[in-house]
Amino acid sequence: MSLSIYFRPKSMSINQYDDIIKRLEKAGAGNPKGRLYHVCFGSNGSLHVHDVWDTKENFEKFGQTLMPILKQVNVDPGEPEIKEIHNII
């Protein structure tokens, strides 16, 4: 079952987001297995991220790379909102 993962960090700037993406790419996780969609939206300092993943296992594996990077760039992602997806068109 696919999952919707919605992160609403208290604070994340465009520079922090771009740095996170560069670090993920450098770590070989820029296009991780199982991530179907990724969007980042909001205003500078208040960016949010919404991903769609094929399985919880693939999301959790990606998290093993992502979480240390978030800590390095001083972004606290908070608890994501995770929901099972009924349909994607």
Distance of CA 62 to the CA centre of its chain: 9
Backbone phi and psi for residue 81, each to the nearest 5 degrees, phi listed first: -90, 120
pLDDT for residue 70? 98
Encoded tokens for 65: 């790379």
Domain count, the chain: 1
- Identify the domain containing residue 8 by its residue range: 1-82
89 within a domain of the structure (yes/no): no
Q: Token pair for residue 60?
A: 């959790």
| 87 within domain boundaries | no
Helix, strand, or coil (residue 67): helix
* CATH code of the domain containing 1: 3.30.70.100
In a domain, 88, yes or no: no
Mean pLDDT calculated for residue range 61-69? 98
| 4 touches 86 (CB < 8 A) | no
pTM of the model: 0.94
pLDDT tens-digit series, residues 6-53:
999 999 999 999 999 999 999 999 999 999 999 999 999 999 999 999
